[in-house]
Structure 1
Amino acid sequence: MADIDNDKVQDLEIGIVGSGSMGAGMTLLFSEHGSKIGCYDYDGEAVKQVMEEAKKDSSVDESLVHGFTSLQKLVDAFPKSNSDSDSDNRRVFVLSLPHGKPVDGILDELLPLLEKGDIIVDGGNEWWEETERRQRKTKEKGVEWVGMGVSGGYQAARHGPSMSPGCSPEAWEYLKPYLEKWSAKAPNGEPCVLRIGPGGAGHYVKMIHNGIEHAHLSILCEIRSLLKHQLGYSNDEISSVFESWWKEGPLRGNFLVGIGYKGLKFKDGGGIHDEEGIVEGMEDKVTQDVDKSEGTGTWSTKEIAERHVAAPAIAASHQLRIISADKFERLKVAKNLDIPQPSEAKEKKLDKKAKDELLKTIHSAVYGAVLSAFVQGLHIITRASKDQKWDIQLSDCLKIWRAGCIIQSDAISEFLLPKVEKFGPNEPLNLLRDVPEVAQELAKTYDSLKKVCMIALETDSVAPALSASLEYLKAVGGKNLPTDFEEMELDYFGHHNYDLKRKPEKGHEKGNYHTEFSRTPGV
Structure 2
Amino acid sequence: MIYIVMGVSGSGKTTVGLMLAERLQLPFYDADDYHSPASIAIMRQGVPLTDEDRLPWLNELAAALPAWEEAGGAVVACSALKESYRKLLMTVPHITWIYLDGTRDTILERLQARNAHFMPPVLLDSQLEALEKPAYGIHVDVSMSPEQIVNQVETKIKHMIPLSEFGVIGLGVMGKSLALNLAGHGVSVSMFNRHVAGKEEGIAEQVIRENPSFTNIKGFDQLDEFVQSLEKPRKVLLMIYAGVIDTQIDALLPLLEPGDVVIDGGNSYFKDTARRTQLLTSQGIHFVGTGISGGEEGARKGPSIMPGGPKAGYQLISKYLELIAARDRTGKPCTTYVGPEGAGHFVKMVHNGIEYAEMQALAEAYHLLRHMLQLTPAEIADLFSSWQTSGLGSYLLEITIDILRKKEDGELLLDKVLDQAEQKGTGGWSAGVALEYGVPYDSLSAAVMARALSAMKTERVQAAQLYGQQIKSIDVNQEEFVKQLKNAYQATRYINHEIGFRLMQQVSAQQSWDINFSEIARIWTNGCIIRSQLMEELAELYKTQQCILTAPDVAGRMRSWQQDFAYLVSQGMQHRVALPVMSAALNYFLGYTTADSPANLIQAQRDYFGAHTYRRKDTPSGEHFHSNWKV
TM-score normalised by the chain length of structure 1: 0.86
How do 1:64-79 and structure 2 match up within 5 A? 64-79=216-231
The answer for the alignment partner of 1:341 in structure 2 is: 470
Superposed displacement of residue 518, structure 1: 2.5
The answer for the alignment partner of 1:93 in structure 2 is: 236
Task: Give the counterpart of 2:496 among 366, 373, 376.
Answer: 373
Superposed displacement of residue 333, structure 1: 4.3
The 8 Å contact of residues 372 and 442 in structure 1, kept in 2 or not, is answered as no
Distance of 1:447 and 1:48 partners within structure 2:
60
Q: Deviations over 1:295-335 (max 9, x none)?
A: 21110110110111112000100100011113123334444
How do 1:477-488 and structure 2 match up within 5 A? 477-488=593-604
How do 1:62-211 and structure 2 match up within 5 A? 62-79=214-231, 82=232, 90-100=233-243, 102-211=244-353
Distance of 2:607 and 2:410 partners within structure 1:
59
CA-based RMSD of the aligned residues comes to 2.0
3-state SS of 2:345 partner: helix
The answer for the alignment partner of 1:86 in structure 2 is: none
The answer for the alignment partner of 1:279 in structure 2 is: 414
Distance of 1:356 and 1:430 partners within structure 2:
33
The answer for the alignment partner of 2:540 in structure 1 is: 418
The 8 Å contact of residues 54 and 65 in structure 1, kept in 2 or not, is answered as no
Distance of 1:228 and 1:127 partners within structure 2:
38
Superposed displacement of residue 119, structure 1: 0.6
The answer for the alignment partner of 1:267 in structure 2 is: 407
Task: Give the counterpart of 1:363 among 486, 490, 499.
Answer: 486
The 8 Å contact of residues 339 and 514 in structure 2, kept in 1 or not, is answered as yes
The answer for the alignment partner of 2:443 in structure 1 is: 313
Residues 333 and 45 (structure 1 numbering): CA distance in 2 closer, same or farther, change over 3 Å? farther
Residues 74 and 236 (structure 1 numbering): CA distance in 2 closer, same or farther, change over 3 Å? same
The answer for the alignment partner of 1:87 in structure 2 is: none
Distance of 1:437 and 1:499 partners within structure 2:
35
Question: Partner amino acid for 1:315?
Answer: S
Distance of 1:222 and 1:494 partners within structure 2:
41
The answer for the alignment partner of 2:584 in structure 1 is: 468
Superposed displacement of residue 221, structure 1: 0.4
Superposed displacement of residue 147, structure 1: 0.3
Task: Give the counterpart of 1:407 among 530, 538, 543.
Answer: 530
Superposed displacement of residue 52, structure 1: 3.3
Distance of 1:184 and 1:125 partners within structure 2:
19
The 8 Å contact of residues 235 and 265 in structure 1, kept in 2 or not, is answered as yes
Superposed displacement of residue 358, structure 1: 2.5
Distance of 1:40 and 1:299 partners within structure 2:
29
Question: Partner amino acid for 2:492?
Answer: A
Distance of 2:483 and 2:210 partners within structure 1:
45
Question: Partner amino acid for 1:26?
Answer: L
Q: Deviations over 1:222-246 (max 9, x none)?
A: 1101101111111111111111111
The 8 Å contact of residues 541 and 548 in structure 2, kept in 1 or not, is answered as no
3-state SS of 2:290 partner: strand
Question: Partner amino acid for 1:162?
Answer: S
Residues 2 and 202 (structure 1 numbering): CA distance in 2 closer, same or farther, change over 3 Å? farther
Question: Partner amino acid for 2:530?
Answer: I
3-state SS of 2:242 partner: coil
Q: 2:514 aligned with 1:398, yes or no?
A: no
Q: Identify the structure with bigger relative contact order (alpha carbons < 8 Å, sequence gap 6+).
A: 1
Distance of 1:310 and 1:396 partners within structure 2:
23
3-state SS of 2:360 partner: helix
Structure exhibiting the larger radius of gyration computed from Cα positions: 2
Question: Partner amino acid for 1:265?
Answer: R
Residues 119 and 515 (structure 1 numbering): CA distance in 2 closer, same or farther, change over 3 Å? same
* Aligned residue pair count: 474
The answer for the alignment partner of 1:446 in structure 2 is: 562
Superposed displacement of residue 186, structure 1: 0.8
Q: 2:397 aligned with 1:257, yes or no?
A: yes
The 8 Å contact of residues 2 and 66 in structure 1, kept in 2 or not, is answered as no
3-state SS of 2:429 partner: helix
**Structure 1: which 4+ aligned runs deviate by more than 3 Å?**
1-10, 332-336, 429-433, 435-441, 501-505
Distance of 2:282 and 2:335 partners within structure 1:
28
The 8 Å contact of residues 213 and 407 in structure 1, kept in 2 or not, is answered as yes
The answer for the alignment partner of 2:61 in structure 1 is: none
Residues 333 and 340 (structure 1 numbering): CA distance in 2 closer, same or farther, change over 3 Å? closer
3-state SS of 1:346 partner: coil
Q: Deviations over 1:429-449 (max 9, x none)?
A: 44445x343333333321221
Q: 2:181 aligned with 1:29, yes or no?
A: yes
Residues 139 and 278 (structure 1 numbering): CA distance in 2 closer, same or farther, change over 3 Å? same
Question: Partner amino acid for 1:107?
Answer: I
Question: Partner amino acid for 2:474?
Answer: A
The answer for the alignment partner of 1:426 in structure 2 is: none
**Identity percentage over the alignment?**
31
Unaligned runs of 5+ in 1: 56-60, 83-89, 289-293, 424-428
3-state SS of 2:168 partner: strand
Distance of 1:363 and 1:267 partners within structure 2:
26
The 8 Å contact of residues 151 and 162 in structure 1, kept in 2 or not, is answered as yes
Distance of 2:284 and 2:259 partners within structure 1:
6
Q: Deviations over 1:470-496 (max 9, x none)?
A: 111100001221222222221211112
The answer for the alignment partner of 2:573 in structure 1 is: 457
The 8 Å contact of residues 168 and 237 in structure 2, kept in 1 or not, is answered as yes
Superposed displacement of residue 63, structure 1: 1.1
Question: Partner amino acid for 1:437?
Answer: D
Task: Give the counterpart of 2:203 among 46, 63, 71.
Answer: 46
Superposed displacement of residue 3, structure 1: 7.7
Distance of 2:73 and 2:495 partners within structure 1:
52
Distance of 2:596 and 2:314 partners within structure 1:
48
The 8 Å contact of residues 274 and 281 in structure 1, kept in 2 or not, is answered as no
